[in-house]
Amino acid sequence: MTVNTFFRKARADETDTILSLYRSVIGTPFCTWNDEYPGLTEITHDLETGSLFVLETEGRIVGSISIVPENELDGLNGWSSVSNAGEFARVVVHPAFQGRHLARLLVSRVLEEMKGRGFKSVHIAVVKENTPALKTYLNLGFRLVGEAAMWGHAFHLCELPL
């Protein structure tokens, strides 16, 4: 793991940096994002709701993750509970910093944040092609609870009690 790594809330003046971070993974293996998603709409909304976090190392933002303020996944089948459940999304690590377990660190830190906010469980939808992300979530204790087709992709549904 990289030394001097900090997890913190993102700031509005970092919008362009976070957008560039999102764009840095478009077209890479396992990524289904495009030039429209995620974009400024998601960044602005996440900043306004205090839900956007970054991972800073070596003096630069190298990762980002968002707590989803609206539980978009609640209506899907398979969850053991939707009461006090939360979601996170838009997990990204700059390609130059991948392979250092930073995604695991991002998720671990956001799980701590979510627990502190009173969530009792966490739901995540993982694009089936994204095997590294699925492996990360399973290694953190998430369990597979179902599958869903959304936004033109097939997803694994994963859940973790907090």
- Kindly report, residue by residue over 12-61, the tens digit of the pLDDT: 999 999 999 999 999 999 999 999 999 999 999 999 999 999 999 988 99
Q: How confident is the model at residue 4 (pLDDT cuts 50, 70, 90)?
A: confident
Q: pTM of the entire structure?
A: 0.93
- Kindly report, residue by residue over 116-131, the tens digit of the pLDDT: 999 999 999 999 999 9
Kind of pairing between the strands at 143-150 and 121-127: unpaired
Mean pLDDT of the chain: 93
In what side-by-side order are the strands of the sheet with 52-57? 5-9, 52-57, 60-68, 85-93, 121-127, 153-161, 143-150
Q: Where are the domains of the chain?
A: 5-161
pLDDT value for 140: 97
Q: What is the CATH T-level fold of the domain 5-161, as seen in this structure?
A: Aminopeptidase (3.40.630)
Asked whether 90 and 69 are in contact (CB, 8 A), the reply is: no
- Kindly report, residue by residue over 139-159, the tens digit of the pLDDT: 999 999 999 999 889 999 999
pLDDT value for 2: 52
Answer whether residue 93 shows pLDDT above 60.
yes
**Percentage of the chain with pLDDT > 90?**
83
B/e letters for 34-45, b = 16+ CB within 10 Å, e = fewer, are eeeebeeebbee
First to last CA, the chain: 24
